[in-house]
């Protein structure tokens, strides 16, 4: 299959290693990967902060950038949820019915990474090797908007060497919430503190998830505390293999920019 | 119409200066203080996790829960579409059965009507059944200002009243208090209470019971709310756990019920759905202990005078909002509060309204006009837990996002010069709409590398709004190349 990779604006700018890992993983699974160069953002941050009018042209750019793509995959539950649940509504509200339909049509071909692997490709063992103790945080939009269910856990369980530990209170929000993290920084931090307490209680080396945004928040908190536990995106774990990980490479992602 | 007026022009919002829909502080400011209260955090954490567990158990045992939810939602949607007709039918049926119906445009009118009705009976005391509508309009204060004594009879509401506190939860108004704190309030405020009172729940309940019993027996007027008003039969219902409601609804000579206009249901049969959804969602019980239902007056049995006050107070304005009107479907079960991670930490008082939590964050700003509660639509991480548990499937996250849009657009209309935030978001939108500009913007973001001077993270002390992030979280230094840039370079044919 020819897969168009939507890196998402955050991953592209701040954590490109996640997109490199996604591409490497898909290629290893025999997919042809293309990266439409005109891609930018899905528009979610604007919509969720109240700038839904301004988001219309962002949606239009997204639709243009991925026009004609057979299937689109993104390493983010949140951005894919926005593509599925917000883009068309935003265009429709602004009176652009043609854009709304184009966005709906594109959304039908857009998948979150773990859902693409498990539901579309039908693989759970992606041939990864990651010899670390890992705990998984289901991000809210993966869990409640996309209903990815246990797809990420199925993938993680099949990773050789990986010791999966259950995260207590896993389904509680980490407190990121986009601009919520800044506009309500105190409440966000209180939620983060409880999430970190649960993560640290597992004694995992790595906390993983399907959204780089939530991981930047959880990882930023852990790093501030100088905790040993690090955050690594699901794609980076799944991209790791025996060849790519050396014994002293500890919890550092195998694929780096 | 002022620029910040929402909804249909001319539809009034809940008036200022009366009732409890507006807080003195913005949500972030109020929450900042509450988050430091360790006792509050412990009390709320304990109470909400207990009730979450109970709810999950009793909901889990119903195989048709999702169908019930869908039925509840469909019934509410259909009712709202012809709300005026159902209300007029309710009025006809209540009147036909000997009740008197009053229409109150807002809190002031409702308070005036109830005060007048109580005064006409010649009594100076009123017993009350817990009711959100009367809390919303500040009825107790209005009655007290008229020289009347008001007694709350719900245990948690009594705790709040005796403690001169305000409710922080729509079902358990004193959820922020623990047993030891309740013992202290009772010992201090209940006349003649046993000096050896302990914090044993049974002892506390018995102390409240002794205090209230006397009032039930001598009260001549009761004021209640209503969970549902059945249009076809003129029947009002109150759903409760303690039996205090039953006492208030049956013993006094006069009963005055204040009901929000959205509480009407067309038929008696509709209760079949709602009386299953409500107790499981609210207290985590299969069935609540007391469900009282009455229609008009019955000679020789119960109150001989019955008044129904139908309250608008901004509801018609909510109904006019195509996205937001779903908030009127709320049956006040409080499940969304109990699962909300923001509510659990910041507490109900941070919302500044009698309606806290996720439903409050949408309902309060719509009732008052968003300008008076502008911080509430942002008081959510949009995690979606509220939507999942709501027994009538109100898509609260989508309404929150909608209200943020309404707020941003109202501010833009109201100001000559855009806010700094609007300038930033417009600029970013422009960049994100044009690949060439976007790549330039990404390059600009990499200037962060200069600030971090070779370290893996940016410094902690950065100017606002980034400081909101960096006060508690490290921010990684942006990498030298974006993914798309590097990929494009490597795959140039
Ligand atoms: S919004 Fe839904 S969950 Fe929240 S109180 Fe109302 S009915 Fe219950």
Mean pLDDT confidence for B352-371: 97
Residue A33 lies in domain: 2-120
Q: Which tens digits make up the pLDDT trace of A179-224?
A: 999 999 999 999 999 999 999 999 999 999 999 999 999 999 999 9
Mark which of A120, A154, A171 sits at the end of a domain: A120
Find where tokens 């709300």 sit.
B83
Residue B363 lies in a domain: no
CB A82 within 8 A of CB A43: yes
Answer whether B335 contacts ligand 1 (Cβ < 6 A): yes
Mutation target vs B (from A175, A190, A214, A230; most B CBs, 10 A cutoff)? A190
Mutation target vs B (from A187, A196, A253; most B CBs, 10 A cutoff)? A187
Residue A126 lies in a domain: no
Give the tokens for residue B429. Answer: 């939108």
Residue A187 lies in a domain: yes
Mean pLDDT confidence for A81-92: 98
Ligand 1, from B390, B395, B396: best to mutate by most atoms within 8 Å of Cβ?
Answer: B390
Task: Specify the pLDDT at position B1.
Answer: 37
Residue A113 lies in a domain: yes
Q: What percent of chain B has pLDDT over 70?
A: 98
The ipTM of this complex is: 0.95
Phi, psi of A88, deg, nearest 5: -65, -40
Q: Which tens digits make up the pLDDT trace of A120-170?
A: 999 999 999 999 999 999 999 999 999 999 999 999 999 999 999 999 999
Residue A125 lies in a domain: no
Do residues A232 and A183 share a domain? yes
- The dihedral through the CA atoms of B314, B311, B331, B340 has a sign that is positive
B71 DSSP β-pair partners: none
Tell me: pLDDT of A63 over 50: yes
Task: Specify the pLDDT at position B267.
Answer: 98
Residue B52 lies in a domain: yes
Do residues A111 and A143 share a domain? no
Average pLDDT, rounded, for chain B: 94
CB B469 within 8 A of CB A220: yes
Q: Pick the residue with more confidence: A213 or B450?
A: A213
Q: Pick the residue with more confidence: A110 or A256?
A: A110
Do residues A112 and A203 share a domain? no
Answer whether B458 contacts ligand 1 (Cβ < 6 A): no
Residue B219 lies in a domain: yes
Q: Which residues of A touch B491 (CB under 8 A)?
A: 35
Tell me: pLDDT of B9 over 60: no
Residue A184 lies in a domain: yes
Rg of chain A over Cα atoms, rounded to whole angstroms, equals 18
Distance (Å, whole) CA B448 – CA B440:
14
Do residues A106 and A200 share a domain? no
Give the tokens for residue B98. Answer: 């000997």
Do residues A102 and A153 share a domain? no
Residue B398 lies in a domain: no
Tell me: pLDDT of A246 over 60: no
Tell me: pLDDT of B451 over 90: no
Band of the pLDDT at B448, cuts 50, 70, 90?
Answer: confident
Residue A14 lies in a domain: yes
Tell me: pLDDT of B464 over 90: no
CB A59 within 8 A of CB A100: no
Question: Tell me, what CATH number does B89's domain have?
Answer: 3.40.50.10420
Band of the pLDDT at B449, cuts 50, 70, 90?
Answer: confident
Mark which of A120, A147, A171 sits at the end of a domain: A120
Q: Which tens digits make up the pLDDT trace of A212-229?
A: 999 999 999 999 999 999
**Could you say which DSSP state residue A119 is in?**
I
Nearest one of B176, B238, B237, B247 to B208, comparing CA atoms: B247
Distance (Å, whole) CA B72 – CA B260:
18
CB A191 within 8 A of CB A174: yes
Q: Which tens digits make up the pLDDT trace of B246-270?
A: 999 999 999 999 999 999 999 999 9
Task: Specify the pLDDT at position B450.
Answer: 81
Give the number of other CB atoms < 10 A from CB of residue B184.
Answer: 14
Mark which of A65, A96, A120 sits at the end of a domain: A120
Do residues A112 and A168 share a domain? no
Answer whether B153 contacts ligand 1 (Cβ < 6 A): no
Give the tokens for residue A87. Answer: 């883009």
Residue B169 lies in a domain: yes
Distance (Å, whole) CA B330 – CA B54:
20
Band of the pLDDT at A251, cuts 50, 70, 90?
Answer: low
Closest protein CA for atom 8 of ligand 1 = B333
Residue B89 lies in domain: 3-316
Residue A205 lies in a domain: yes
Residue B166 lies in a domain: yes
Mark which of B316, B333, B348 sits at the end of a domain: B316
Mark which of B316, B342, B357 sits at the end of a domain: B316
Residue A162 lies in a domain: yes
Band of the pLDDT at B459, cuts 50, 70, 90?
Answer: confident
Q: Which tens digits make up the pLDDT trace of B297-321?
A: 999 999 999 999 999 999 999 999 9
Average pLDDT, rounded, for chain A: 95
Do residues A65 and A115 share a domain? yes
Asked if B124 has any chain A CB less than 8 Å from its own CB, the reply is no
Mark which of B316, B332, B365 sits at the end of a domain: B316
Residue B369 lies in a domain: no
Tell me: pLDDT of B493 over 70: no
Do residues A213 and A110 share a domain? no
Q: Choose among A49, A86, A219: nearest Cβ to B425.
A: A49
Instruction: Indicate the number of domains in chain A.
Output: 2
Task: Specify the pLDDT at position B246.
Answer: 94
| Minimum-distance ligand 1 atom for the alpha carbon of B282 | 8
Q: Which tens digits make up the pLDDT trace of A166-183?
A: 999 999 999 999 999 999
pTM of the complete model: 0.95
Instruction: Indicate the number of domains in chain B.
Output: 2
Mean pLDDT confidence for B160-167: 94
DSSP A125-157: ----B--SEEEE---HIIIIIS--TTHHHHHHH
Surface of A (39-58) touching B: CB under 8 A: 39-41, 43, 46-55, 57-58
Phi, psi of A130, deg, nearest 5: -150, 90
DSSP B136-172: HHTHHHHHHHTT-EEEE-SHHHHHHHHTT----SSS-
3-state class (DSSP) for residue A164: strand
Do residues A91 and A141 share a domain? no
């Amino acid at each position: 299959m020819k897969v168009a990779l939507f890196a998402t604006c955050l991953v592209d700018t701040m954590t490109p290693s996640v997109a490199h890992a996604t591409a490497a993983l898909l290629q290893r699974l025999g997919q042809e990967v293309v990266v439409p160069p005109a891609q930018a953002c899905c528009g979610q941050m604007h919509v969720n902060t109240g700038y839904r009018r301004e988001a219309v042209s962002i949606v239009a750019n997204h639709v243009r950038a991925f026009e004609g793509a057979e299937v689109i995959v993104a390493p983010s539950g949140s951005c894919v949820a926005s593509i599925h649940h917000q883009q068309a509504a935003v265009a429709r509200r602004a009176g652009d019915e043609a854009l709304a339909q184009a966005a709906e049509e594109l959304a039908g071909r857009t998948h979150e990474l773990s859902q693409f692997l498990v539901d579309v490709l039908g693989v759970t063992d992606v041939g990864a090797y990651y010899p670390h103790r890992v705990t998984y945080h289901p991000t809210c939009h993966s869990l409640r908007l996309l209903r990815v269910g246990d797809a990420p856990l199925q993938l993680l369980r099949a990773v050789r060497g990986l010791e999966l530990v259950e995260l207590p209170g896993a389904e509680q929000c980490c407190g990121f919430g986009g601009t919520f993290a800044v506009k309500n920084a105190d409440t966000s931090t209180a939620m983060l503190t409880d999430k970190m307490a649960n993560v640290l209680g597992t004694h995992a080396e790595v906390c993983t998830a399907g959204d780089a945004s939530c991981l930047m928040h959880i990882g930023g908190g852990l790093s501030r505390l100088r905790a040993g536990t690090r955050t690594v995106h699901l794609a980076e774990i799944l991209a790791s293999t025996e060849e790519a990980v050396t014994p002293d490479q500890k919890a550092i992602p195998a694929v780096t920019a | 119409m002022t620029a910040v007026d929402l909804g249909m022009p001319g539809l009034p919002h809940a008036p200022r200066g009366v009732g409890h829909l507006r807080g003195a502080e913005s949500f972030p400011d109020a929450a900042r203080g509450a988050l430091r209260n360790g006792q509050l955090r412990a009390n709320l954490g304990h109470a909400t996790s207990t009730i979450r567990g109970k709810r999950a158990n009793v909901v889990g045992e119903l195989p048709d829960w999702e169908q019930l939810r869908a039925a509840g939602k469909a019934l509410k949607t259909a009712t709202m579409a012809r709300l005026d007709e159902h209300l007029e039918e309710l009025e006809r049926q209540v009147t036909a059965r000997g009740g008197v119906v009053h229409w109150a445009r807002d809190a002031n009118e409702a308070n005036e009507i109830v005060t007048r009705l109580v005064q006409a009976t010649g009594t100076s005391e009123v017993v009350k059944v817990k009711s959100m509508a009367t809390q919303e309009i500040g009825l107790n204060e209005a009655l007290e200002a008229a020289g009347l004594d008001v007694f709350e009879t719900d245990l948690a509401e009594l705790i709040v009243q005796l403690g001169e506190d305000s409710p922080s939860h729509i079902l358990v108004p004193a959820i922020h208090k623990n047993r030891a704190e309740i013992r202290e309030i009772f010992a201090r405020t209940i006349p003649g209470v046993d000096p050896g009172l302990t914090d044993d729940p049974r002892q506390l309940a018995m102390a409240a019971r002794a205090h209230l019993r006397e009032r039930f027996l001598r009260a001549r007027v009761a004021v209640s709310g209503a969970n549902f008003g059945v249009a076809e039969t003129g029947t009002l219902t109150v759903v409760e756990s303690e039996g205090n409601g039953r006492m208030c609804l049956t013993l006094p000579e006069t009963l005055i019920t204040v009901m929000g206009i959205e509480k009407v249901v067309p038929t008696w049969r509709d209760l079949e759905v709602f009386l299953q959804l409500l107790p499981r969602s609210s207290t985590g019980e299969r069935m609540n202990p007391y469900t009282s239902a009455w229609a008009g007056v019955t000679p020789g049995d119960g109150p001989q005078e019955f008044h129904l006050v139908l309250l608008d107070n901004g509801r018609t304005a909510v109904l006019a909002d195509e996205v937001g009107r779903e908030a009127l479907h709320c049956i006040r079960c409080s499940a969304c509060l109990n699962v909300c991670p923001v509510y659990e930490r910041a507490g109900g008082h941070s919302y500044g309204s009698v309606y806290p939590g996720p439903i409050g964050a949408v309902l309060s700003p719509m009732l008052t006009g968003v300008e008076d509660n502008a911080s509430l639509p942002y008081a959510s991480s949009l995690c979606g837990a509220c939507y999942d548990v709501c027994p009538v499937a109100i898509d609260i996250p989508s309404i929150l996002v909608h209200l943020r849009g309404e707020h941003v657009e109202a501010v833009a209309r109201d100001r000559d010069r855009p806010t700094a935030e609007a300038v930033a978001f417009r600029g970013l939108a422009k960049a994100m709409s044009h690949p060439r500009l976007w790549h330039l913007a990404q390059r600009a973001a990499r200037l962060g590398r200069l600030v971090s001077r070779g370290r893996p993270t940016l410094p902690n002390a950065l100017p606002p709004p980034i400081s909101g992030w960096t006060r508690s979280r490290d921010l990684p230094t942006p990498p030298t190349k974006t993914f798309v840039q590097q990929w494009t370079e490597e795959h140039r044919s």
